[in-house]
């Protein structure tokens, strides 16, 4: 096991930048499950019918419920379900599974238990409960993120409270039936660590990002990155010497990583600003960006991160100006190099709104969820639907997870290049090759791990004779072949 500490020199440059226009808001929705008690939304995912599933918490007198709200593409409520009934019961993450159902993760206190537990709730497409599991240990646990593996297992990350009041980054692997397969915790010396996001890494392993608070270190938090093998054994870890916490992470198109959060700044670390750190496939830092927006007394915090249609990244969180009472939902889009393209501050008069989760839409727009508060009233779950990103002018591949491996090529026939597209139902190893009519491999376009979703590769036949060729993708035991016709 290897731990590295990465140090940064923070330099702020004031530049004059003209931003593009952000997407318009198409609709907003607010939900309060119990009239006199608060409701919050923590996460959202796109669904296969181009709708959305919003999850969070519905408070009630003496206890809370895990909340799920299914919305249509137009924002109409298809159904609302609650699960469990205990103090602090909250869903903090949601994914659509390969069978069309959903998996929710978070924390709850089971009946008769004095400690909160990390949990997974499995529901079908209609919201009916398939199973739920709370994972017991000697600690109080919370799950913040969940992914599904190619073999149908689930992996969670979060935090585990120890008896010493410190926390540890949590890793739980769960079978498709809800059985616990492995339970691991990771620490950074004598201090606290928390896992906030998880993605698949190379060779079937995982990468988790969060933050560390080591005893004796002046800065309050530092980003903490852990790599594991497929069963959760720790391989390497990295601590970034920044006064910051990391909250969200993605794999990039080149199979690297990017993560976001916010860095503390100002006297006594009272102010904050967003950051992005991009890594290559071996976790070497490619660049680091800090975003000082508004005036000297403005605070921005990023809690979610999305791949932008057409390339780049979108951070989602909240904006606050010192001296004011209200928070606002805030989005920022960057290009692949982290340079800002547009920002969007969504303000509601006399209300505070905070964004905690987001997802892409089928047409290249965004859905943002969180909560809104009006002075003197309980909070309400808050959903904002944004129009397709104005910087994207092409056909957008639906953000909902595909249900099967697919392979296509366009144009076909072609001369001399064609675009070969593959879609994967979950993160897995994939091998994409092109063969001639005799079965000889003429080009390997990709070999390695790919995230769930669509991926595009260019096949160049400039040095090949006219004729019939075959594109072949192998992933998760599935093989697909597409005939190609090169005409010169």
- Tens digits of residue pLDDT in 193-207: 889 999 988 778 999
Q: Which CATH class is domain 406-486?
A: mainly beta
The yes-or-no verdict on residue 118 having pLDDT over 70 is: yes
Q: What pLDDT score was predicted for residue 12?
A: 41
What integer best gives the mean pLDDT of the chain? Answer: 84
Q: Which residue intervals of 250-408 are DSSP H helices?
A: none
The yes-or-no verdict on residue 8 having pLDDT over 70 is: no
Q: What pLDDT score was predicted for residue 303?
A: 95
Whose CA is closest to 344, among 328, 360, 365, 323? 328
Q: What pLDDT score was predicted for residue 323?
A: 67
The yes-or-no verdict on residue 95 having pLDDT over 60 is: yes
Residue found by looking up tokens 């392979």 in the block: 407
Q: What pLDDT score was predicted for residue 386?
A: 95
Kindly indicate the confidence band of residue 399, based on its pLDDT and cuts at 50, 70 and 90. Answer: very low
Kindly indicate the confidence band of residue 17, based on its pLDDT and cuts at 50, 70 and 90. Answer: very low
Residue found by looking up tokens 């599991």 in the block: 133
Kindly indicate the confidence band of residue 1, based on its pLDDT and cuts at 50, 70 and 90. Answer: very low
Integer Cα distance of 54 and 46 in angstroms: 9
Of the ranges 180-189, 212-221, 351-360, 426-435, the best mean pLDDT one = 351-360
* Lookup: tokens for 242: 């920044």
The yes-or-no verdict on residue 176 having pLDDT over 80 is: yes
Count of CB atoms situated within 10 Å of the CB of 187: 20
Kindly indicate the confidence band of residue 295, based on its pLDDT and cuts at 50, 70 and 90. Answer: low
Q: Are 131 and 177 in contact (CB under 8 A)?
A: yes
Q: Are 51 and 329 in contact (CB under 8 A)?
A: no
- Give the whole-number percent of the chain exceeding pLDDT 90: 41
Segment 83-101 mean pLDDT: 87
Of the ranges 278-292, 411-425, 442-456, the best mean pLDDT one = 278-292
Q: Are 149 and 451 in contact (CB under 8 A)?
A: no
Q: 2-386 maps to which CATH number?
A: 2.120.10.30
Half-sphere exposure of 487 (CA within 13 A, CB side): 5
φ, ψ (nearest 5 deg) of residue 203:
60, 30
Count of CB atoms situated within 10 Å of the CB of 102: 23
Kindly indicate the confidence band of residue 88, based on its pLDDT and cuts at 50, 70 and 90. Answer: confident
In sequence order, which residues have a C-beta less than 8 Å from that of residue 457 and are 6 or more positions away?
Answer: 419, 420, 421, 422, 432, 445, 446
Rg (CA), the chain: 23
φ, ψ (nearest 5 deg) of residue 271:
-100, 170
Higher pLDDT, 192 or 206: 206
In sequence order, which residues have a C-beta less than 8 Å from that of residue 256 and are 6 or more positions away?
Answer: 278, 279, 280, 281, 286
Segment 54-75 mean pLDDT: 92
Integer Cα distance of 102 and 46 in angstroms: 11
* Lookup: tokens for 29: 């929705």
Please enumerate, as own/partner, the contacts of 391-394 that have beta carbons within 8 Å and a separation of 24 or more.
Answer: 391/20, 391/308, 391/309, 391/310, 391/333, 391/341, 391/342, 392/308, 392/309, 392/310, 392/364, 393/310, 394/309, 394/310
pLDDT tens for 441-451 read 889 999 887 87
pLDDT tens for 249-271 read 998 878 889 999 998 765 544 56
CA 325 to chain centre: 29
Integer Cα distance of 96 and 131 in angstroms: 15
Locate CATH 2.60.40.1930 in the chain.
406-486
Q: What pLDDT score was predicted for residue 189?
A: 62
φ, ψ (nearest 5 deg) of residue 51:
-95, -155
Locate CATH 2.120.10.30 in the chain.
2-386
Integer Cα distance of 406 and 42 in angstroms: 32
Q: Is 208 exposed, middle or buried (0-12, 13-18, 19+ CB in 10 A)?
A: buried
Integer Cα distance of 107 and 485 in angstroms: 54
Q: Any idea which of 267-271, 379-383, 399-403 has the lowest mean pLDDT? A: 399-403
The yes-or-no verdict on residue 344 having pLDDT over 60 is: yes
Higher pLDDT, 18 or 331: 331
* Lookup: tokens for 398: 């639906």
pLDDT tens for 20-34 read 889 999 999 999 998
């Amino acid at each position: 096991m290897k731990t590295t500490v990465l140090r940064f020199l923070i330099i702020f440059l004031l530049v004059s930048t003209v931003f593009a226009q952000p997407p318009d808001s198409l609709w907003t929705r607010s939900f309060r499950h119990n009239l006199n008690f608060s409701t919050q939304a923590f996460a959202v995912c796109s669904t296969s019918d181009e709708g959305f599933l919003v999850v969070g918490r519905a408070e009630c007198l003496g206890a809370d419920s895990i909340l799920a709200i299914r919305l249509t593409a137009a924002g109409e409520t298809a159904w609302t379900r609650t699960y469990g009934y205990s103090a602090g019961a909250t869903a903090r993450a949601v994914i659509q599974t390969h069978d069309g159902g959903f998996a929710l993760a978070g924390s709850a206190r089971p009946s008769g238990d004095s400690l909160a537990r990390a949990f997974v709730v499995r529901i079908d497409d209609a919201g009916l409960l398939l199973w739920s599991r709370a994972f017991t240990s000697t600690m109080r646990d919370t799950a913040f993120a969940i992914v599904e593996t190619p073999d149908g297992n689930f992996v969670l990350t979060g935090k585990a409270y120890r008896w010493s009041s410190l926390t540890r980054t949590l890793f739980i692997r769960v079978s498709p039936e809800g059985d616990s397969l492995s339970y691991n915790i990771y620490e950074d010396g004598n201090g606290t660590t928390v896992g906030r996001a998880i993605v698949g890494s190379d060779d079937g392993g995982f990468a988790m990002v969060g933050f560390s608070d080591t005893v004796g270190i002046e800065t309050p938090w530092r980003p903490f990155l852990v790599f594991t093998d497929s069963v959760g054994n720790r391989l390497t870890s990295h601590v970034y010497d920044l006064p910051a916490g990391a909250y969200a992470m993605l794999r990039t198109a080149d199979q690297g990583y990017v993560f976001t959060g916010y860095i503390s700044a100002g006297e006594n670390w009272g102010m904050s600003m967003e950051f992005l750190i991009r890594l290559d496939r071996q976790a070497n830092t490619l660049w680091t960006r800090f975003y000082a927006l508004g005036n000297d007394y403005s605070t921005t915090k990023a809690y979610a991160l999305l791949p932008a249609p057409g390339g780049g990244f979108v951070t989602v969180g909240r904006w606050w100006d010192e001296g004011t009472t209200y928070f606002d939902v805030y989005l920022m889009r960057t290009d692949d190099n982290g340079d800002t393209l547009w920002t969007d501050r969504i303000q509601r008069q006399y209300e505070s709104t905070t964004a905690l989760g987001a997802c892409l839409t089928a047409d290249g727009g965004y859905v943002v969820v969180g909560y809104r508060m009006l002075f003197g009233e309980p909070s309400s779950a808050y959903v904002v639907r944004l129009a397709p990103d104005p910087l994207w002018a092409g056909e957008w591949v639906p953000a909902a997870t595909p249900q099967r491996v697919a392979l296509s090529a366009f144009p076909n026939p072609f001369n001399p290049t064609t675009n070969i597209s593959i879609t994967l139902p979950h993160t897995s190893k994939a091998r994409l090759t092109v063969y001639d009519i005799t079965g000889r491999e003429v080009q390997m376009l990709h070999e390695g791990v790919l995230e769930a979703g669509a991926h595009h590769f260019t096949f160049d036949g400039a040095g090949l004779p006219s004729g019939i060729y075959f594109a072949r993708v192998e992933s998760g035991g599935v093989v697909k072949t597409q005939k190609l016709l090169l005409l010169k």
